[in-house]
Amino acid sequence: MITAVELGLIYAIMALGVYLTFRILNFPDLTVDGSFTTGAGVAAISIINGMPPVMATILAFIAGMAAGAVTGLLHTKGKINGLLAGILTMIALYSINLRIMGKSNLPLLREETLITPLREAGMLGGIGAIAIFLLVALAVKVIMDWFLHTDIGLAMQATGDNEQMIRSFGVSTDNQKILGLSLSNGLVALCGAFIAQYQGFADIGMGIGLILAGLASVIIGQAIFGSRLIWIASLAVVLGSVLYRVVIQLALQAGLEPNDMKLVSAVLVVIALVLPQWKVFARVGGLGKMKKSLMGAKG
């Protein structure tokens, strides 16, 4: 169960990225499945080639931002539907990720990574590692909270809330979308880099279906700890990520196969999207907006 909490805290970085697009920008971005693997692959191949783990992780973040920017450009400049733009980028990233990695799997067990000191100190699977991962997740959360309260961040929030209104004030909503998608996928790729180092390998298929995990984390957090305040909502996303991983671990302990986990994720998302239609759950505003984002992509 401790491992589930550790994974939940690491994946919280990805969930915060998903929160940025689906909740703040109200944009259904499916680039996540590809950009996660991009981050893992870039970090892994960079570390194998002798780059310091910190620099490799930063490079992974930049690569993820580039992937998000492509989706943003396809949508804003190419006038391609948001969902389709994300799908196109995700498909293209599969081939790009294979080119980056050179093969479908890159082992990192013998390489020096950011997780190596924790592993050598025997801290993994203990309270010490949980505390460190919690600090990292909270650091990302605090930085994102700060950004969303800057002028650019407020304009980004307004773009998601009322695009036509904020455009009338002279704000370029296209630039806001591109920036938001870039930052979101940068966080997703950053998470991929951490996961590759934590698990000791990068695999071409490690991002498949990840968008469901991200949505489940965001929705669970919004359902239980939902709030209109950014700092509370982002904290809810972190807690939702941990709860999601705990639920997955409990499902495995109950006898379900690992291959069933995508189905479990899908069921959780469906339930969370259906519940807001019931009057008893109508007060949870975050879910309503999430459902709106998922049910209809912007043209």
Output the domain CATH number for residue 246.
Answer: 1.10.3470
Helix (H) and strand (E) counts in the chain: 13, 2
CB-side neighbour CA atoms (13 Å) of 4: 15
CB-side neighbour CA atoms (13 Å) of 256: 15
d(CA 131, CA 30): 31
Interval 128-140 mean pLDDT? 94
Closest residue by Cα to residue 68 from 221, 181, 223, 158 = 181
Q: Is 246 exposed, middle or buried (0-12, 13-18, 19+ CB in 10 A)?
A: middle
Query: pLDDT digits over 179-197, tens only?
Result: 999 999 999 999 999 999 9
Query: pLDDT digits over 160-185, tens only?
Result: 888 888 888 888 899 999 999 999 99
Closest residue by Cα to residue 46 from 117, 111, 119, 116 = 111
d(CA 67, CA 6): 27
- Model pTM score: 0.89
In this predicted structure, the answer to whether residue 212 has a pLDDT above a threshold of 90 is: no
Split into its structural domains, the chain has a count of 1
d(CA 39, CA 44): 8
Interval 260-285 mean pLDDT? 71
Centre a 10 Å sphere on the Cβ of residue 214 and count the other Cβ atoms it contains.
Answer: 33
The more confident residue out of 120 and 59 is 59
Interval 48-62 mean pLDDT? 95
In this predicted structure, the answer to whether residue 297 has a pLDDT above a threshold of 50 is: no
**Which domain, by its residues, includes 151?**
2-295
In this predicted structure, the answer to whether residue 284 has a pLDDT above a threshold of 80 is: no
- Residue 2 — pLDDT band, cuts 50, 70, 90? confident
The residue type of 92 is A
Are the C-beta atoms of 54 and 208 separated by less than 8 Å? no
Query: pLDDT digits over 63-115, tens only?
Result: 999 999 999 999 999 999 999 999 999 999 999 999 999 999 999 888 899 99
